[in-house]
């Protein structure tokens, strides 16, 4: 029984990070209407900036994360301005090619600046504590709590403020939003900023229990795709729920089936869910 609870908690940790990354991807999907392949690169850059702030400038982990999420948010906005905005009237395939281009560029840049080596990020929250017979590290608790707080803040922002609601409105009908006096340029930039922040936050939180390397975004972004497909493209509750479903399935699968197969579980899950419900769990209507 202890093993089960331990694994459920691990699933919660992993799922929290997946949800953060998938949320950014699903928000940007509302603007671009294609999955942004470069999102995984933002995740990777986020981890590196936090790492560099800690090792080179000696910043505290928390401050390093703050610097990282703001920087990656701005990189994300820059990407929208110089790559996607000029392509706004072109075909989806051009967006996809551009997104892959940005991905390759950022990865090559990471190789150039930080090299190909695996880096270890040290957290000041490595303490181990016992709660109800479970052995937890402070870092994992930090991941879960921070992710949930971030999601609640995002939810309140989207639901309770005009600026947040304009993001949802633009995703549902871009011209409709424009005709209501919403500045769609500003909304697009804001959405990319939030997506960058969420990616950097997810990466910085999970790096101390994983490793930092140029291709660290690959598997995460593939899984984030699976999550937003499972959850329904563009759906916000779908991204959160999908993230946790995947996190739990992986950690349970790793324990009771084989840890060698933990990464394949995401894709098996994808096949099963797409077979049963091809539109995803929180599928949108025709409109």
- Least Å distance, CB 177 to another protein, is 8
To the nearest 10 degrees (0 to 180), the angle between helices 39-55 and 2-32 is 120
List the Cα angle 227/280/198 in 5-degree steps: 30
Give the helix/strand (H/E) hosting 131: strand 128-131
- Least Å distance, CB 180 to another protein, is 5
The residue among 89 and 130 lying less far from another protein, judged by its C-beta, is 89
Q: Can you tell me the distance from the alpha carbon of 41 to that of 111, in angstroms, rounded to the nearest whole number? A: 12
The residue among 130 and 175 lying less far from another protein, judged by its C-beta, is 175
The residue among 131 and 287 lying less far from another protein, judged by its C-beta, is 287
- Least Å distance, CB 85 to another protein, is 14
The residue among 99 and 171 lying less far from another protein, judged by its C-beta, is 171
To the nearest 10 degrees (0 to 180), the angle between helices 236-256 and 138-160 is 160
Residue 77's CB is within 10 A of a number of other CB atoms, namely: 19
The residue among 58 and 285 lying less far from another protein, judged by its C-beta, is 285
- Least Å distance, CB 157 to another protein, is 14
Interface residues with another protein (CB under 8 A) are 162, 165-166, 168-169, 172-173, 175-184, 284-285, 287
- Least Å distance, CB 90 to another protein, is 14
Q: Can you tell me the distance from the alpha carbon of 196 to that of 132, in angstroms, rounded to the nearest whole number? A: 36
Q: Can you tell me the distance from the alpha carbon of 270 to that of 249, in angstroms, rounded to the nearest whole number? A: 12
């Amino acid at each position: 029984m202890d093993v089960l609870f331990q694994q459920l908690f691990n699933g919660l940790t992993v799922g929290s990070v997946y949800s953060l990354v998938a949320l950014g991807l699903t928000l940007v999907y509302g603007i671009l209407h294609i999955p942004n392949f470069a999102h995984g690169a933002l995740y990777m850059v986020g981890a590196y900036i936090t790492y560099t702030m800690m090792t080179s400038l000696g910043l505290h982990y928390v401050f390093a994360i703050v610097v990282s999420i703001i920087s990656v948010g701005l990189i994300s906005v820059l990407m929208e301005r110089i790559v996607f905005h000029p392509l706004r009237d072109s075909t989806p395939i051009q967006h996809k090619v551009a997104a892959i281009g940005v991905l390759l560029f950022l990865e090559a840049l990471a190789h150039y600046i930080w090299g190909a080596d695996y880096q270890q990020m040290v957290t000041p929250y490595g303490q181990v504590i016992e709660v109800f017979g479970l052995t937890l590290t402070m870092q994992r608790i930090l991941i879960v709590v921070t992710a949930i707080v971030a999601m609640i803040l995002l939810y309140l922002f989207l639901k309770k403020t005009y600026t947040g609601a304009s993001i949802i409105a633009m995703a549902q009908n871009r011209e409709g939003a424009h005709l209501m006096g919403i500045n769609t340029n500003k909304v697009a930039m804001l959405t990319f900023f939030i997506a960058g922040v969420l990616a950097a936050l997810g990466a910085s939180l999970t790096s101390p229990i994983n490793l930092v390397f140029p291709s660290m975004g690959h598997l995460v972004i593939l899984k984030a795709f699976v999550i937003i497909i499972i959850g329904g493209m563009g759906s916000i509750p779908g991204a959160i729920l999908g993230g946790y479903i995947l996190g739990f399935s992986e950690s349970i699968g790793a324990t009771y089936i084989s840890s060698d197969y933990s990464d394949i579980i995401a894709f098996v899950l994808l096949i099963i869910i797409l077979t049963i419900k091809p539109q995803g769990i929180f599928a949108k209507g025709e409109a």
